[in-house]
Chain A
Amino acid sequence: MLRVDVEKQLGEFSLHASFTGEGRVIGLFGASGAGKSSLVNMIAGLLRPDRGTIVIDGETVDDTAAGIHVPTWRRRIGYVFQDARLFPHLSVAQNLDYGRRMNGLAPDPAQHKRIIDLLDIGALLDRRPGKLSGGERQRVALGRALLSKPRLLLLDEPLGALDEARKLEILPYLVRLRDEANVPMVYVSHDAAELRQLATQIVMLKQGRVTSFGGVKVLT
């Protein structure tokens, strides 16, 4: 479960958003500049709200009135960025293992194998990120985030940098993730068709405000 009620002033732009997400995939929908990325960065702890609270899975990670701000690295979230952000000095296998090592988790070969199979990245393990295609990179980034065992997965336009053909290549993996990985997700997109396929609940943002909220029907 995710509860967000935050205010943030970013230059001329003011963001004031409040919603409670219960669904498996909360779709954050809006045009570019609506404040989607800022909102996700606040959930991740990369951006600090001016006022408000954020509660992930029952834990208050932000509460400005109480002076609470849990740093990103202690939030146990996964974040898939539009630009993958794989570590260029590490192999794919080392990238996938990074979150587990940083969190001091014991190796979990069964989970490891399940996610590698789910994303079809077994053949890439020895490669360097520089030698991967855009779609492969994004699949590895998904695996890397999942293997850190997050309690919430944030995806900020994960298909945004890919062309149509690549999008169609990745989309089925995301659907499988939703149905099999058992991690709640916040999925940011400006593409209604994408969200219709993936989201179970929609939060619509317009110029920093939540304009509608509900099932996928609100997209029409």
Chain B
Amino acid sequence: MLEISPAEWTAILLSLRVAVVATLVATPFGVALAWLLARKDFWGKSVLDAVVHLPLVLPPVVTGYLLLLTFGRRGLVGGFLADNLGIVFAFRWTGAALACGVMAFPLLVRPMRLSIEAIDRRLEQAAETLGAAPWKVFFTVTLPLALPGVLAGMVLGFAKAIGEFGATITFVSNIPGETQTISSAIYSLIQTPDGDAAAGRLVIVSIVLAIGALIAAEWFARRATQRLHGN
């Protein structure tokens, strides 16, 4: 009953690969955006903020369809990337990573932004008076102090990415071994007679991963408070 079959392993490993790649690629963008939203005032800031949060409130199938229109073979960006750089997203695991990254992005950015906002700007001023150029201030003061929040954002983003379903299946379909993640595998299994046991095993795997991520995020948040108080 609890024996995981090779086909299920394939789905689990693919999910992990998709979520890890999505998280790692999204993180630098997430940190940059979090810093921008926390520290800068510029024209169009609230629009940018809304766009980032859009995947959170749009129906996932809509996000997936928009990705298909943009990054599909005949999409504006997808066609350009395929013809010039040989990068194809449509019906590939890379497309699944893109969909998961986009869906996870608002969750990933939020803790990062909050932790940057919580940093005392006067510490950054002190760093400047000691001769640190702005980019050095960022890497020696801002980022280290925000690190627990950055990690918490990565964990939450990863948890979202590993469970993403709607946008992924719309954009890259449900191809075993290429784009069939845990979620789409469960979806297929519960529509198959005798699929219940296999679906059950994957459900348990999902729950374990999700709870693990929540515990990790909580732990990082607690580290953040300790760090800011200098103990």
Contact = CB atoms under 8 A, between A and B. Distances in A.
Interface of A: 44, 46, 71-74, 76-79, 81, 83, 85-89, 98-99, 102-103, 128-131, 144-145, 148, 154
Contacts of A102: 127, 130-133, 136, 140
Contacts of B132: 73, 98, 102
Contacts of A73: 128-134, 137
Nearest to A127: B230
A87 B227 CA distance: 10
A88 B228 contact: yes
A89 B141 CA distance: 8
14 contacts: A44-B129, A46-B125, A46-B128, A71-B128, A72-B129, A79-B126, A79-B129, A83-B122, A88-B229, A98-B127, A99-B131, A102-B133, A128-B230, A130-B230
B145 interface: yes
B231 interface: yes
B144 interface: yes
Contact of B131 (A81, A87, A131, A148): A148
Contacts of B136: 102
B203 interface: no
B230 A89 contact: yes
Nearest to B137: A73
B211 interface: no
A128 B227 CA distance: 10
B48 interface: no
Contact of A88 (B128, B130, B140, B145): B145
Contacts of A71: 128
A87 B129 contact: no
B51 interface: no
Contact of A89 (B126, B130, B227): B227
A74 B227 CA distance: 29
